[in-house]
């Protein structure tokens, strides 16, 4: 390896690799100390600007390689999604709203330049949180970055037809109900709520603070006992149909050339990076098991963990939490079970009903126009947390925990009938309940988009855009997400306190 720039390429992080290689004007074959091969073209003169920013793996793929891959699928009449590419630039694990959003933004920004592959073991999303959520979008966080991510997603959803339209296909319609989100607060939390509203307004959210009297006038069908005030979104908040959103993202991605692979990521291969100091590793390839039981290796430049509630398992495959030193610290994300109950109340508040979040953790919103309501409970104490073991619904949870709170807030709900219910996992960050986004401090070509709690849907477009900016533009623009980096679990960060809550 004669070029000093290339020696540094092996040593440095992925981002610095991208910057430095631009200065070398030749095709170069790289070989890491463990023998994995990469081809990098770096001639500035014959590349459009956008290509210079792209992380590339397997860049030097001949047309034959590409055709062969496609023909292999055709020859064996394999259904779409079962051909696993041998190389890709970006490997995304998990094709829910977050993974698909990241894929969309990478491909949108650089349609011709980078290969993006999404590995998804459950292509009909029977267990994905994206499909099992309470469907809400709001800007009501105390953390400015969260508000920015939600604002961005809301704007994205408003303009979804421009973003996700596909020629010859019906325009996407995510049935966004802009009915607003009403967050209620007790006296002890009133000051914090008022401060949050000011911060949210400063960031551009159309949110107002309502006193108890104003609440009572506006929503006479609700009982505001124990409530001091509430904040209400006047624009851009509400709920939507997550399946239509995910389907639109996926359809657009496929039209842009993103490869969705039906398979389960079962492991990563690591390679040693040449350094002057202690031995270092980076991720080199992912191993995917397809439904026929075969395992396939895909070399990549960058892997992004979008595995939702299963993110810690995927992180472990990369030795995060099982290695030594910095790798001994696990990704602190666990599944937490949440139920969604649908009840019927023909005499209910109907159109008047925003998405309501109560201090008790109770939540409800109107579903359609036929008198149906979706409700659930985010337990405020660990004691009330449902057991995670399976996706079964505990109807006793509704009778004992949800219905009493619901009828206390809206007495009319005592006449409602429970119609159906489902359970899903949210991805809970056990350390500070905030997102984990961005690179691992040691495995720099491994990025996270995890720990999104009950807000992943509303952050999804913002996260996709932000990670694209981080990867391709060398820095965040839509929201500065550095505080969400994994580093905070390794150092005693005074900022961490501010992330909690
Ligand atoms: C009941 C409930 C209510 C919620 N309400 C809201 C709400 O109102 N608003 C809001 O914004 N958010 C809400 N959320 C949270 C939100 O749904 C999630 O944060 C969001 O959907 C996360 O999206 P994701 O793409 O990261 O994860 P997921 O949708 O779970 O997708 C992860 C995907 O990764 C795949 N995967 C995992 N491991 C592997 C592997 N090894 N190989 C291949 N594939 C793998 C899984 O099959 C899955 O499809 C709620 C969640 C629940 C459970």
Per-domain residue ranges for the chain? Answer: 4-65, 81-127+244-332+432-499, 171-239+334-428
| Cα–Cα dist 5/19, whole Å | 10
Q: Concatenate the DSSP letters of all residues of 353-393 into one string.
A: --EEE-TTSEEEEEETTTTEEEEEE--SSGGGPPP-SSS--
Query: Residue 264 in contact with residue 283, Cβ under 8 Å?
Result: no
Tell me, yes or no, if the two domains 81-127+244-332+432-499 and 171-239+334-428 fold the same way: no
Atom 14 of ligand 1, residue of closest alpha carbon: 454
Ligand 1 atom closest to 422 (CA): 1
Indicate the range of 126-130, 146-150, 362-366, 383-387 predicted with least confidence.
Answer: 383-387
Distance CA 337, CA 397 (A): 12
Residue nearest to atom 50 of ligand 1 (CA): 133
- The per-residue pLDDT for 458 is 97
The verdict on the CB of residue 421 being under 6 Å from ligand 1 is no
**135: Cβ below 6 Å to ligand 1?**
yes
pLDDT at 22 over 60: no
Does residue 279 register a pLDDT over 90?
no
Ligand 1 touching residue 315 (CB < 6 A): no
Per residue in 56-82, pLDDT (tens digit) is: 444 444 555 555 555 555 555 556 677
- What is the number of the ligand 1 atom nearest to the C-alpha of 94? 34
Contact call for residues 269 and 296 (beta carbons, < 8 A):
no
Is there an atom of ligand 1 within 6 Å of 101 CB? Answer: no
Q: Is the Cβ atom of 134 under 6 angstroms away from ligand 1? A: yes
- For ligand 1, is residue 340 a contact (CB within 6 Å)? yes
Under the banding of pLDDT at 50, 70 and 90, the label for residue 498 is low
> Which tens digits make up the pLDDT trace of 166-175?
988 899 999 9
pLDDT at position 6:
30
**Nearest ligand 1 atom, CA 122:** 47
Contact 125 CB / ligand 1 (< 6 Å) = yes
Q: Residue 296, SS3? A: strand
**CATH number for the segment(s) 81-127+244-332+432-499:** 3.50.50.60
Average pLDDT, the chain: 85
Average pLDDT over residues 339-354: 93
* 128 close to ligand 1 (CB < 6 Angstrom): yes
276 pLDDT higher than 70 = yes
| Cα–Cα distance measured from residue 266 to residue 263, given in angstroms and rounded to the nearest whole number | 9
Among 201-215, 267-281, 446-460, the least confident range:
267-281
Would you state the pLDDT for residue 448? 98
CA angle 461, 464, 465 (to 5 degrees): 85
Q: How far apart are CA 284 and CA 37, in angstroms?
A: 10
Please indicate whether residue 264, judged by its CB atom, sits closer than 6 Å to ligand 1. yes
Looking at residue 12, its pLDDT comes to: 39
CB 165 within 8 A of CB 171: yes
Tell me the CA–centroid distance for residue 429 and ligand 1, in Å: 13
Say how far apart CA 54 and CA 79 lie, in whole Å.
30
Is the pLDDT reported for residue 55 higher than 50? no
Instruction: Take atom 38 of ligand 1 and give the residue whose Cα is closest.
Output: 307
Q: How do residues 415-459 score in pLDDT, each as one tens digit? A: 999 999 999 999 999 999 999 999 999 999 999 999 999 999 999
Residue 154, ligand 1, Cβ within 6 A = no
Provide the pLDDT for residue 79: 60
What is the Cα–Cα distance from 310 to 101, expressed in whole angstroms? 18
> Ligand 1: which atom is nearest the Cα of residue 263?
43
**374 Cα–ligand 1 center, Å:** 18
Share of the chain above pLDDT 90, in %: 73
The residue with greater pLDDT, 322 or 26, is 322
Band (pLDDT 50/70/90 cuts) for residue 324 is: confident
Can you tell me the mean pLDDT for 184-190? 97
- Give nearest CA residue, ligand 1 atom 49: 128
Residue 21: pLDDT band (50, 70, 90) is: very low
Cα distances (Å, whole numbers) of residue 272 to 212, 275, 351, 440, 487: 61, 9, 60, 16, 21
Q: Tell how far the Cα of 313 is from the centroid of ligand 1, in angstroms.
A: 14
pLDDT of residue 70: 55
Is the CB of residue 316 below 6 angstroms from any atom belonging to ligand 1?
no
Question: What is the domain class of 171-239+334-428 according to CATH?
Answer: alpha beta
Which ligand 1 atom is nearest residue 98's CA?
25
The tokens describing 428, both together, are 């809970």
CA distances from 123 to 96, 127, 167, 266 (A): 9, 10, 23, 16
């Amino acid at each position: 390896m004669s070029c000093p720039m290339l020696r540094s390429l092996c040593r440095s992080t992925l981002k610095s690799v991208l910057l430095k290689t631009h200065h070398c004007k030749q095709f170069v074959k790289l070989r890491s100390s463990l023998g994995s091969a990469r081809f990098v073209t770096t001639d500035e003169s014959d590349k459009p600007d956008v290509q210079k920013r792209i992380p590339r793996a397997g860049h030097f793929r001949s047309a034959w390689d590409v055709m062969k891959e496609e023909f292999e699928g055709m020859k064996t009449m394999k259904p779409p999604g079962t051909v696993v590419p041998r190389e890709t630039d970006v490997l995304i694990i998990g094709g829910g709203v977050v993974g698909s959003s990241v894929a969309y933004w990478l491909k949108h920004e650089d349609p011709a330049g980078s290969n993006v592959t999404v590995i998804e073991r459950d292509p009909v999303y029977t267990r994905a949180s994206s499909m099992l959520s309470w469907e809400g979008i709001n800007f009501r966080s105390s953390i400015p970055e969260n508000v920015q991510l939600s604002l961005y997603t809301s704007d994205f959803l408003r303009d979804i037809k421009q973003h996700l339209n596909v020629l010859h296909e019906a325009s996407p319609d995510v049935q966004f109900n802009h009915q607003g989100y009403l967050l209620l607060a007790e006296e002890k939390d009133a000051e914090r709520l008022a401060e949050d509203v000011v911060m949210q307004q400063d960031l551009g959210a159309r949110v107002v603070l309502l006193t108890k009297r104003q609440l009572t006038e506006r929503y006479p069908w609700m009982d505001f006992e124990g409530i001091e005030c509430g904040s209400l979104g006047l624009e851009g908040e509400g709920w939507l149909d997550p399946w239509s959103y995910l389907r639109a993202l996926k359809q657009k991605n496929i039209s842009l050339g993103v490869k969705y692979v039906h398979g389960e990521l079962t492991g990563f291969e690591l390679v040693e990076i040449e350094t002057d100091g202690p031995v270092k590793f980076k991720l080199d390839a992912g191993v995917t098991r397809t439904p026929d039981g075969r395992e396939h290796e895909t070399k990549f430049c960058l892997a992004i963990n979008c595995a939702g509630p299963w993110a810690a398992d995927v992180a472990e495959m990369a030795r995060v939490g099982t290695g030594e030193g910095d790798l001994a610290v696990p990704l602190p994300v666990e599944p937490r079970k949440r139920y969604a109950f649908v009840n019927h109340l023909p005499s209910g508040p109907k159109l008047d009903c925003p998405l309501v979040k109560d201090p008790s953790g109770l939540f409800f919103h109107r579903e359609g126009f036929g008198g149906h309501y979706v409700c659930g409970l985010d337990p405020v104490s660990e004691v009330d947390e449902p057991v995670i073991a399976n996706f079964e619904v505990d109807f006793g949870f509704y009778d004992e925990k949800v219905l009493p709170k619901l009828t206390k807030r809206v007495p009319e709900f005592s006449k409602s009938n429970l119609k159906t219910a489902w359970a899903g996992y949210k991805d809970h960050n056990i350390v500070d309940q905030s997102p984990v986004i961005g690179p691992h401090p040691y495995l720099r070509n491994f990025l996270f988009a995890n720990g999104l709690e009950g807000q992943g849907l509303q952050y999804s477009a913002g996260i996709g855009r932000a990670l694209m900016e981080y990867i391709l533009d060398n820095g965040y623009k839509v929201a500065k997400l550095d505080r969400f980096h994994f580093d905070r679990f390794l150092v005693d960060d005074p900022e961490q306190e501010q992330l909690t809550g």
